[in-house]
Amino acid sequence: MTRRLAMAAAAFFAALPAWAAEEGGAGFLGLPTIYWKLANFAFFFGLLFVLLARPAAKFFRSRREQIATQLAEAERAQREAEQLRTEMTQRLAALSGEVKALQERLHLEGEREREALERQGDAEAARLTAQIEQEAARRVADARRQLAAEAASVAAELAVELLQRELNAEDRERIFRATLERLDERPAGGAR
């Protein structure tokens, strides 16, 4: 590249005397100066073309290939992005369906669980009610037994008190003899 630049600079400096010689009439070899300027101009751009044609063609070819490669890469990336977008849309639709199904399943499971808890609560309430009724019945029975025992005790005390007050010695003697007679009438080893 520096060699080409050096050649272009040499051509430029070679053309300088032609530009500097600006005479009104005839120039070198009797030709007007304008022809020399045109010839110098053509020589300069011809040399410039010869020196830069291959590198420029090579540069533009590689640039075109690079652009084509980048364009192909961009198209491939665009296709991949479109494919990815399609996949994501499908996944999103599938996930939406799964979420809806999961919500429905959870709702049904929640209903079943609620019904099971209601049944369990009803069963527990029935069990507790039965237990409370049994406990109440047991306490009523205990209270009745206790009341009967207290009534019997009070009745016995009242009877003893009444007997002590109403019975005299003669009545006691008569009751004692009657009891002895009944005991004598019993068989020897048995109860009545």
Q: What is the pLDDT of residue 12?
A: 65
The answer to whether the beta carbons of residues 27 and 21 sit under 8 Å apart is yes
The pLDDT of 19-42, averaged and rounded, is: 74
Choice between 9 and 4, residue whose per-residue pLDDT is larger? 4
How far apart are alpha carbons 53 and 171 in whole angstroms?
165
Q: What is the pLDDT of residue 72?
A: 95
Tell me the one-letter amino acid at 137.
A
List the single range of 3-12, 13-22, 164-173 with lowest mean pLDDT. Answer: 13-22
Assign 33 a pLDDT band (cuts: 50, 70, 90): confident
Q: What is the pLDDT of residue 16?
A: 58
How far apart are alpha carbons 108 and 169 in whole angstroms?
90
Cβ-proximal residues to 33 (8 Å cutoff; 6+ apart), any chain:
21, 22, 23, 26, 27
- For 94-127, write each residue's pLDDT tens digit: 888 889 999 999 999 999 999 999 999 899 989 9
Q: What is the pLDDT of residue 63?
A: 93
Assign 132 a pLDDT band (cuts: 50, 70, 90): very high
Q: What is the pLDDT of residue 131?
A: 92
Cβ-proximal residues to 37 (8 Å cutoff; 6+ apart), any chain:
18, 19
Measured at the alpha carbon of residue 50, what is the angle toward residues 44 and 53, in degrees to the nearest 5? Answer: 120
Q: Any idea what DSSP says for residue 188? A: S
Q: Length of the chain, please?
A: 192
Rounded to the nearest 10°, the torsion over CA 135, 137, 141, 144 is 110
Domain, as residue range, for 100? 32-132
Choice between 7 and 91, residue whose per-residue pLDDT is larger? 91
Mean pLDDT of the residues in the chain: 84
Whether 190 is covered by a domain: the verdict is no
- For 39-91, write each residue's pLDDT tens digit: 899 999 989 888 888 888 899 999 999 999 999 999 999 999 999 999 999 99
| Sign of the alpha-carbon dihedral angle for 153, 155, 156, 160 | positive
Whether 179 is covered by a domain: the verdict is no
Whether 121 is covered by a domain: the verdict is yes
Whether 69 is covered by a domain: the verdict is yes
Q: Is the pLDDT at 192 greater than 60, yes or no?
A: no
Whether 156 is covered by a domain: the verdict is no
Q: What is the pLDDT of residue 22?
A: 54
* Whole-angstrom Cα Rg for the chain: 67
Whether 52 is covered by a domain: the verdict is yes
Measured at the alpha carbon of residue 27, what is the angle toward residues 23 and 28, in degrees to the nearest 5? Answer: 140
SS3 at position 106: helix
Whether 117 is covered by a domain: the verdict is yes
Q: Domain total for the chain?
A: 1
Q: What is the pLDDT of residue 36?
A: 84
Q: What is the pLDDT of residue 17?
A: 63
Whether 137 is covered by a domain: the verdict is no
How far apart are alpha carbons 173 and 168 in whole angstroms?
9
- 26 DSSP β-pair partners: 32
